[in-house]
Each structure stands twice: as C-alpha cells, then as structure tokens.
C-alpha cells in the first residue's frame, strides 16, 4: 500500500534529476587521428587531441595536443599544452607548456609559456615566450618611476 | 499507467521463473500493467501509439539490448517515458543505464529517475539509432561538422558511430570507451583496413572523433553497407546527426553518465 502511494507520488511529479556537471567528463574526451588516417581541414576539439597520422589544416584545442613520431601536421597549431614528437610545418602557439621531443621537427614560429626541448629535436623558427620579466638594477629604478604611469610586460625573443 | 512490451524470445521456458519474479515484484510496487508481446510483423510504434491514446504514461521494454534498440529506434519520436527491464544475456545498454538484470530492474522502475538522452539519427533517411551505426570496411570519406574530412591512406575503412553502448575494438585488451549520451555529441570510430587476408581482415586501432553532424560519402561511387542498430541498407551518401534529448528513459542510480 505504501509503495503504491509512493509510486503515484512520483507519477504526479516525475523525478527528473538535475544534470551533473559534465566538465570532468569533457576532460576525458580524446580525439585520436590514427597512423593511416589523413585529416584535411580545420581540426578543432574541446578535449585532448592525439595525432598519429597526418593533418593538413589548422589544429586547435584548449587542452593537450600530443603528436607521435612519424605524424605530420601541415598548418598552424594552437593548444593549451602540447607534446610534439612528429613533424610540424606551421606556427605552434601553446598557452602553457610545450614539450618538443628528440624525434620532433618543427618548421615555424613557436609561442609558449614553458618550453621543454629534448636533445635531438630540430627547430627552425622564432621562439617567443610570454610572461617572462627580467629585472635589472637599472630597469628597477626606472620601473619605480614609471610604476605610477603604466605596467610593462617584457617578452624575450630568440632565434 | 504502465504497459510492458515483452520480446518474443521471452517465450522460452528458461525465462519463465525470471518473468514470474519480475511480475510479482511489479505487483508489490503497484506498477504492474498490460503485457504486450512484440511480434515479427507488428510495428511497435503503432502498438505504443495505441496505448498512449488509451492513457498510458510509461512504456516498459522487457528484453535485451536488441529489444531496447529495436523498439526505441521505431518509437523515438513518440513523446512518452520509457523504462527497461533487462532479461537474459546481451545487456550492455542496461549496464550503461544503471539498470540491474531481472527483478532488480523493478526497483529502478519504481523510483522513476528520468533522464533525457540524445540519440543518433540518419537525418537524410529519417531513421534513428539507439545502440550503434556500423559501416563495414568500404571506400568512404567522412566529413565532420563541415570542418574537416578524414580518409584512409589504405583506401578502405570501417566506421562505427556509437550512442548508448560502449565500443570495444580489441577484446584482448578490452578497450572500452565511455558512454556520454548527454554531451550533445556522438562518437565516431574510424578504422582503416590495413590488411585484407583470405581468412580475416586487420583493422587499425580506431581514430576517434566527436561530432554533431557527420557526412559519409562513397569515394568510388559504389554503395556501401550501413547497419543501423543491426538493420542493413545500402547507401551512397548518409548524414548522421544527433537528436538532442529525444528520449526520456528511467535510469538507475549506478548509470555510467
């Protein structure tokens, strides 16, 4: 009897759960381009991307991009973090850490916050690291005077 | 009011005890109802529509993955709540939905925890799929969300689009994907054919893409086979998309999404 009443209660007012927070699920989502797969066009993903084959077109993700030895990307790359072990012919823009392994070849400009290059990696291009500020004694005194006017941000460029 | 759709295979003697236990429990909960049996030449959509006209609020499918996929692919456009009582083997969708097999499913049913789920649709053919869509190795090019195309450097590739069942591509290592029927995207697994022997074919590990709209086109102009929840047809061009929150299903607490 109790159960009958219980069931009717639910029938009148169906129990629809609030959707769970899916942000954690999104983290697990991984897009994989296999070794025998060729992708053409702008390749955009909300999750991690792993490239084992070839991509002719821009690659964009806010998460981690991993390319394996033998892979090829022929366009610009934009990622949150990246581990490059294959060939990239295009500019690489990473907002956090970029790791270039020994098997990697990068032909293009690199922009990142933290750069890790393994011995044997081949790079040709301009490297720009954002968020770096080096204070010399002279610049310190100057910066004290200019502090009231505006803040400055320095970038270091190497070739 | 509940209506129970029994699959035809449940007529077998070995299921008598299970069905009796289920029916007793449903009676205990006060949610027992009319029992209809699915027949080979009877359209389940019509059966459901008739019952809804009589005031039925919940359609409960009793059977396995095939029964659930078959009924829902036909009745996906009907605005009602669906329940599921898994019986026997081949019930991976029930696991995803957090519904235990046999009379344990009656507890889930009585709690009426309802979730709206996305399902796959072959939009240019007006067909829905609940479990998966499969294209065996063929010369196909696949375009994702009008952004990029993927093709196989070996010429032939297999394509699997999953919805409510996890995709396992290597039984030995049991690579199972997670099921996300509420993420507004479908998962596509693109597998180039790397070796075509006399006895067996060897497929590469899948390339995985998430998409909203996917177009599959024949490269060589010949039609390719398409299995939509097990039903085969031959097509030259199909458009697969996601029907957002199309079905309302009673799910368990232990669901995988």
CA distances from B15 to A103, B6, B9, B20 (A): 59, 11, 9, 9
Place of tokens 């061009």: B237
State the average pLDDT over residues A115-125.
96
Q: How confident is the model at residue B30 (pLDDT cuts 50, 70, 90)?
A: very high
B194 in reach of chain A (CB within 8 A): yes
Instruction: State whether A36 and B194 contact (CB < 8 Å).
Output: yes
Q: Contact A78/A62 with Cβ under 8 angstroms? A: no
Burial label for A89, CB within 10 Å (0-12, 13-18, 19+), is: middle
Decide the pairing of beta strands A37-41 and B148-152.
antiparallel
Identity of the residue in B28, B110, B204 whose CB atom sits nearest the CB atom of A35? B204
Contact A53 B113 (CB under 8 A): no
Cβ neighbours of residue A59 closer than 8 Å, sequence gap 6 or more: A43, A49, A51, A65, A73, A75, A76, A77, A78, A79
Measured CA distances, B240 to A17, A90, B243 (Å):
29, 33, 10
A18 pLDDT tier (thresholds 50, 70, 90): very low
**Beta carbons of B113 and A39 less than 8 Å apart:** no
Q: Is the pLDDT of residue A16 over 80?
A: no
Q: B130-169, pLDDT tens digit by residue?
A: 888 999 999 999 999 889 999 999 889 999 998 888 887 7
User: Comparing C-alpha atoms, which of B67, B68, B81, B4 is closest to residue B35?
Assistant: B4
B32 contacts chain A (CB < 8 A):
no
Angle between helices B16-29 and B104-111 (to 10 degrees): 30
Rounded average pLDDT over A61-85 = 95
CA distance A144 to chain B (A): 50
Q: Where are the alpha helices (DSSP H) in chain B?
A: 16-29, 44-53, 65-75, 92-97, 104-111
**Packing angle, helices A2-12 and B104-111, rounded to 10:** 50
Position A90 pLDDT exceeds 70: yes
B230 vs B177, B225, B226, B227, CA distance in Å? 20, 11, 9, 5
Q: How confident is the model at residue A45 (pLDDT cuts 50, 70, 90)?
A: confident
Among B45, B93, B108, which Cα is nearest to B250's? B108
Interchain pair A3, B194: CB under 8 A: no
Whether the Cβ atoms of residue A76 and residue A95 lie closer than 8 Å to each other? no
Are A37 and B153 an interchain contact pair (Cβ–Cβ within 8 Å)?
yes
Q: Residues of A with CB below 8 A from B257's CB?
A: 25
Among all residues of chain A, which has the CA nearest to that of B153?
Answer: A36
Whether the per-residue pLDDT at B242 is higher than 90: the answer is no
Contact A41 B149 (CB under 8 A): yes
Residue B254: both structure tokens together: 């232990």
What are the residues facing B115 on neighbouring strands?
B249
Q: What's the rounded mean pLDDT across residues A91-113?
A: 96
> Which pLDDT does position B13 carry in this prediction?
93
| pLDDT of the residue at A2 | 42
pLDDT at A143: 59
A140 to chain B, closest Cα gap in Å: 49
- Residue A9 above 50 pLDDT? no
Q: What is the predicted pLDDT for the residue at B123?
A: 76
Taking residues A117-142, report their average pLDDT: 80
Interface of B with A in 212-251 (CB under 8 A): none
Neighboring chain A residues of B206 at a CB cutoff of 8 Å: 32, 34
To test the contact with chain A by mutation, choose from B139, B148, B219 the residue with the greatest count of A C-beta atoms within 10 A, namely: B148
Nearest CA in chain A to B28: A3
Nearest CB to A34: which of B31, B148, B207?
A: B207
Length of chain A, in residues: 159
User: Considering only A76-85, A108-117, B244-253, which range has the smallest mean pLDDT?
Assistant: B244-253
Q: Do A3 and B30 touch (CB under 8 A)?
A: yes
Q: Does B253 touch chain A (CB under 8 A)?
A: no
* Nearest-by-Cβ selection for A28 from B111, B148, B178: B178
Q: What is the mean pLDDT of residues B120-133?
A: 86
Could you read off the pLDDT of B59-100 as tens digits, one per residue?
999 999 999 999 998 898 899 999 999 998 889 899 999 999
Q: Are B210 and A53 an interchain contact pair (Cβ–Cβ within 8 Å)?
A: no
Q: What is the pTM of this model?
A: 0.80
User: In this structure, what token pair is assigned to residue B72?
Assistant: 């829902």
Q: Establish how many alpha carbons lie within 13 A of residue B189's alpha carbon, considering only the half-sphere containing its beta carbon.
A: 22
Residue with tokens 């053919």: B125
Give the distance between the most distant pair of CA atoms in chain B: 60
- Calculate what percentage of chain B has a pLDDT beyond 70: 96
H and E: helices and strands count for chain A: 3, 20
* DSSP element (H, E) containing A55: strand A54-56
CB-CB under 8 Å, A40 with B149: yes
Q: How many other CB atoms sit within 10 Å of the CB of residue A52? A: 21
ipTM tops 0.90: no
Contact between chains at A38 and B152 (C-beta distance less than 8 A): yes
Is the pLDDT at A28 greater than 90? The verdict is no
Provide the 3-class DSSP secondary structure of residue A151: coil
The pLDDT of residue A144 is 62
pLDDT of residue B200: 80
From A16-30, A47-61, B152-166, the region with the lowest mean pLDDT? A16-30
Q: Which residue of B has its CA nearest to A56?
A: B148
Contact across the interface for B149 and A29, Cβ inside 8 Å: no
Q: Do A25 and B152 touch (CB under 8 A)?
A: no
Mean pLDDT (chain B) is 89
Q: What's the pLDDT tens digit per position in B98-117?
A: 999 999 999 999 999 999 99
pLDDT for residue A156 is more than 70: no
Among residues A70, A68, A67, which one has the least CA distance to residue A81? A67
3-state DSSP call for residue B202?
Answer: strand
Given this model, what pLDDT does residue A145 score? 62
- DSSP output for B84-140: EEE-SS--HHHHHHT--STTHHHHHHHHTEEEEEEEEEETTTTEEESSEEEEEEESE
- Alpha carbon of residue B67 to chain centroid: 9
* Chain B closest-CA separation from residue A124 CA (Å): 28
């Amino acid at each position: 009897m109790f159960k009958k009443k219980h069931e009717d209660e639910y029938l009148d007012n169906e129990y629809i759960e609030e959707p769970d927070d899916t942000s954690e699920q999104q983290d697990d989502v991984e897009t994989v381009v296999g070794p025998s797969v060729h992708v053409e066009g702008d390749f955009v993903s909300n999750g991690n991307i792993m490239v084992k084959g070839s991509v002719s077109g821009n690659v964009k993700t806010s998460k981690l991009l991993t390319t394996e030895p033998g892979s090829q990307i022929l366009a610009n790359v934009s990622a949150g973090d990246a581990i490059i072990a294959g060939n990239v012919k295009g500019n690489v823009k990473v907002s956090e850490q970029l790791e270039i392994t020994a098997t990697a070849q990068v032909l293009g400009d690199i922009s990142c916050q933290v750069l890790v290059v393994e011995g044997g990696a081949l790079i040709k291009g301009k490297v720009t690291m954002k968020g770096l500020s080096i204070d010399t004694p002279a610049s310190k005194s100057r910066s004290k005077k200019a502090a009231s006017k505006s803040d400055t941000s320095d970038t270091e460029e190497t070739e | 009011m509940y209506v129970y759709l029994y699959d035809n295979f449940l007529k077998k003697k070995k299921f008598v005890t299970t069905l009796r236990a289920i029916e007793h429990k449903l009676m205990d909960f006060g949610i027992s109802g009319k029992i209809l049996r699915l027949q080979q030449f009877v359209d389940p959509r019509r059966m459901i529509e008739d019952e809804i006209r009589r005031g039925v609020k919940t359609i409960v499918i009793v059977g396995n993955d095939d029964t659930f996929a078959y009924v829902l692919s036909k009745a996906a456009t009907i605005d009602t709540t669906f329940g599921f009582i898994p019986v026997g083997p081949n019930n991976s969708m029930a696991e995803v939905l957090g519904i235990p097999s046999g009379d344990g499913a009656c507890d889930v049913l009585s709690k009426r925890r309802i979730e709206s789920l996305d399902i796959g649709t072959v939009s240019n053919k007006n067909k829905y799929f609940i479990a998966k869509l499969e294209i065996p190795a063929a010369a196909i090019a696949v375009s994702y969300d009008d952004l990029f195309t993927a093709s196989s450097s070996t010429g032939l590739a297999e394509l699997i689009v999953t919805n409510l069942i996890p995709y396992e591509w290597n039984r030995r290592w049991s690579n199972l994907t997670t099921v996300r029927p509420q993420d507004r995207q479908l998962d596509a697994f693109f597998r180039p054919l790397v070796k075509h022997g006399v006895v067996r074919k060897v497929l590469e590990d899948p390339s995985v893409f998430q998409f909203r709209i996917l177009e599959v086109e024949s490269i060589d102009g010949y039609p390719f086979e398409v299995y939509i929840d097990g039903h085969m047809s031959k097509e030259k061009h199909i458009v697969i998309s996601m029907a957002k929150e199309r079905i309302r299903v009673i799910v368990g607490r232990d669901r995988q999404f």
